[in-house]
């Protein structure tokens, strides 16, 4: 029997770790090194208590020479559970010892520039204390060699008990989850790109080199023969019943007969798609309305429910968006209040009340819905197929981001815009699709100008949970360009940033 599971179905981040390494040297003698070890263990315990990420920080023995450093980094590189390293210099740790290790580092890296004690003990401080607690200068020696080696890294400075420091640490861990997911991700494409569309194209070899994920193409006919036609009538009926339990019905613009036939067909598509994705180990996929060979409707509700369960999706063959949606869903694991594929659609240019309507013809994840979506069937004016079943809803209010990745031939660029999703006061009775209404930061005109200057796509991944800072950490881990459009965006400065980046990335390739 086919098993239906709701939520968290394919998130696989359990048992993952970031490794915590502490730099020191033999020079200080046993007593100081014992203290260093005690302190770093206490610090790791405190961090594990403070963070809310589904990842454990694993303490590793204090590093005192080049061989120990190289060994732990080699182990981290080959470990399946280690998704990144956090390094802290409790004392001075002469940085030539770190060269061999850092040169071979392949995992995300965080330089945690903190100090064990929060305050200077004014009355008791002496030279022993100075020797044991010299992060301020040990961290600088380490920073030099990291910069000299052009190490991809995040630096967080501040006391480890500070909530802002903890929050930055969590951002980085969530980005590392995304990085790790990208390196194990396989994206399936049913059919190719929508013909003539430019931005959804890109070099899949470059993507695999920069992001790690694989993209595999499949003929829709093979899916129909191998999966769709194998779905039993009873299985489809069982899923239809589940639809009817989970969603209120709005009968829409088709007859009862067409409605029933449509949701049965949709259920078969969903069951077959789940089996196809599970069999191939795919966590993200694309479809295109221009290649639906053997399908009587464009997959709507199937895609919406698969996204809800954690799958990434991109419409019209958009594999970059499919991968990004999946990666962002994993980054949001455990706290996600909504992450979906979305498309910029319509502007509302009413003076004083300017906003934008985001949507797609069907495939928007129900995780962003405000309340329970309704199940509806309506004709689709595109694709020349039968009326598809879809979930209709308005997106919930709240701060969010939209992000896309585009390719310029020589590099990928991520573009992020912070948004405020607002309440929908109008019904839009003739627009039976999922709808999100938002005001981009700093305002629609500036945001749209910046997005367009940067070459941002019409498709994006939208999330209420993943933040711009997390996406910046993620882009740094991948080593790709990122531009963020937020409260502070000023077009003149933004244009300069694009120009500087152009030079930087071109020179970097030389
Ligand atoms: Mn689209």
User: Do 88 and 139 fall into the same domain?
Assistant: yes
User: Do 147 and 281 fall into the same domain?
Assistant: no
Q: What is the pLDDT of residues 469-496, one digit of tens each?
A: 999 999 999 999 999 999 999 999 999 9
- CA 315 – ligand 1 centroid, Å: 5
- Contact between 325 and 314 (Cβ < 8 Å): yes
Closest CA relative to residue 332, chosen from 5, 8, 6, 3:
8
Q: What is the pLDDT of residues 269-301, one digit of tens each?
A: 999 999 999 999 999 999 999 999 999 999 999
User: Do 165 and 218 fall into the same domain?
Assistant: no
User: Do 35 and 177 fall into the same domain?
Assistant: yes
- Contact between 85 and 73 (Cβ < 8 Å): yes
Among the three residues 165, 182, 199, which one is the final residue of a domain in this structure?
182
Count: domains in the chain: 2
Q: What is the pLDDT of residues 364-415, one digit of tens each?
A: 999 999 999 999 999 988 878 999 999 999 999 999 999 999 999 999 999 9
Whether 6 shows a pLDDT value over 50: the answer reads no
User: Do 162 and 276 fall into the same domain?
Assistant: no
User: Do 68 and 196 fall into the same domain?
Assistant: no
The pLDDT of residue 54 is 87
The pLDDT of residue 437 is 98
Look up the CATH number of the domain holding residue 281. Answer: 3.40.275.10
The pLDDT of residue 327 is 98
What percent of the chain shows pLDDT beyond 90?
Answer: 92
User: Do 343 and 244 fall into the same domain?
Assistant: yes
Any residues with CB less than 8 A from the CB of 477 and at least 6 apart, and which?
108, 152, 175, 176, 178, 179
The pLDDT of residue 382 is 80
- CA 286 – ligand 1 centroid, Å: 11
- CA 342 – ligand 1 centroid, Å: 8
Range of the domain at 196: 186-509
User: Do 173 and 199 fall into the same domain?
Assistant: no
- CA 310 – ligand 1 centroid, Å: 20
C-alpha–C-alpha distance, residues 422 and 441, integer Å: 13
C-alpha–C-alpha distance, residues 166 and 157, integer Å: 11
Distance of CA 439 to the CA centre of its chain: 22
- CA 241 – ligand 1 centroid, Å: 30
The pLDDT of residue 384 is 80
The pLDDT of residue 1 is 29
Of residues 8 and 40, more confidently modeled: 40
Instruction: Classify residue 6: in a domain, yes or no.
Output: no
Instruction: Classify residue 425: in a domain, yes or no.
Output: yes
Instruction: Classify residue 11: in a domain, yes or no.
Output: no
Whether 8 shows a pLDDT value over 70: the answer reads no
User: Do 319 and 431 fall into the same domain?
Assistant: yes
Whether 3 shows a pLDDT value over 60: the answer reads no
Whether 88 shows a pLDDT value over 80: the answer reads yes
The pLDDT of residue 42 is 98
- CA 319 – ligand 1 centroid, Å: 12
Q: What is the pLDDT of residues 304-324, one digit of tens each?
A: 999 999 999 999 999 999 999
Average pLDDT of the residues in 205-232: 96
Look up the CATH number of the domain holding residue 75. Answer: 3.40.50.10940
C-beta atoms surrounding 39 within 10 Å: 19
Instruction: Classify residue 192: in a domain, yes or no.
Output: yes
Among the three residues 182, 207, 239, which one is the final residue of a domain in this structure?
182
User: Do 240 and 352 fall into the same domain?
Assistant: yes
Sign of CA dihedral 390, 277, 457, 171: positive
The pLDDT of residue 425 is 93
C-alpha–C-alpha distance, residues 211 and 184, integer Å: 10
The pLDDT of residue 57 is 98
The pLDDT of residue 10 is 52
Average pLDDT of the residues in 237-242: 98
């Amino acid at each position: 029997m086919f098993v239906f599971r709701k939520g968290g179905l394919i998130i696989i981040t359990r048992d993952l770790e970031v490794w915590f390494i502490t730099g020191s040297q033999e020079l200080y003698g046993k007593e100081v090194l014992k203290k260093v070890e005690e302190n770093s263990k206490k610090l790791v315990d405190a961090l594990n208590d403070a963070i809310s990420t589904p990842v454990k920080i694993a303490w590793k023995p204090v590093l005192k020479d080049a061989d120990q450093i190289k060994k732990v980094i080699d182990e981290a590189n080959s470990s399946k559970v280690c998704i990144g390293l956090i390094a802290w210099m409790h004392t001075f740790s002469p940085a030539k010892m770190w060269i061999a290790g850092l040169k071979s580092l392949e995992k995300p890296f965080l330089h945690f520039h903190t100090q064990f004690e929060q305050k200077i003990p004014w009355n008791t401080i002496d030279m022993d204390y100075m020797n044991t607690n010299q992060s301020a200068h040990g961290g600088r020696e380490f920073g030099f060699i990291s910069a000299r080696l052009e190490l991809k890294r995040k630096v967080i400075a501040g006391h480890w008990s500070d909530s802002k420091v903890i929050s930055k640490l969590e951002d980085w861990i969530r980005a590392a989850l995304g990085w790790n997911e990208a390196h194990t991700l396989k994206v399936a494409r049913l059919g190719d790109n929508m013909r003539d569309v430019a931005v959804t194209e890109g070099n899949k070899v470059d993507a695999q080199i920069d992001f790690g994920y694989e993209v595999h193409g499949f003929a829709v006919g093979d899916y129909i023969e191998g999966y769709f036609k194998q779905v039993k009538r009873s299985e489809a009926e069982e899923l239809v019943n589940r639809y009817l339990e989970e969603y209120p019905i709005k009968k829409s613009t088709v007859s009862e007969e067409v409605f029933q036939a449509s949701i049965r067909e949709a259920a078969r598509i969903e069951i077959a798609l789940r089996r196809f994705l599970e069999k191939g180990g795919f966590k993200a996929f694309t479809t295109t309305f221009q290649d639906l060979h053997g399908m009587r409707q464009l997959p709507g509700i199937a895609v919406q429910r698969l996204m809800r369960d954690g799958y990434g999706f991109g419409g019209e063959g958009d594999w970059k968006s499919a991968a990004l949606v999946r990666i962002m869903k994993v980054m949001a694991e455990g706290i996600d209040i909504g992450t979906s594929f979305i498309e910029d659609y319509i502007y509302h240019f009413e003076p004083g009340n300017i906003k934008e309507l985001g949507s797609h013809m069907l495939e928007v994840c129900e995780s962003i819905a405000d309340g329970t979506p309704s199940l509806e069937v309506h004709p689709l004016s595109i694709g020349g197929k039968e009326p598809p079943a879809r979930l209709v809803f308005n997106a919930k209010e709240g701060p969010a981001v939209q992000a896309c990745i585009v390719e310029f031939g020589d590099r990928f660029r991520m573009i992020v815009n912070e948004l405020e999703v607002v309440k929908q006061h109008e019904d839009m009775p003739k627009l039976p699709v999922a709808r999100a209404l938002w005001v981009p930061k700093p305002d629609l005109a500036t945001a749209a100008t910046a997005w367009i200057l940067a070459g941002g796509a019409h498709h994006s991944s939208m999330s209420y949970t993943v933040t711009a800072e997390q996406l910046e950490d993620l882009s740094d881990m991948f080593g790709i360009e990122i531009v963020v459009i937020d409260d502070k965006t000023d077009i003149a400065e933004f244009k300069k940033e694009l120009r500087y980046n152009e030079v930087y990335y071109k020179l970097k390739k030389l």
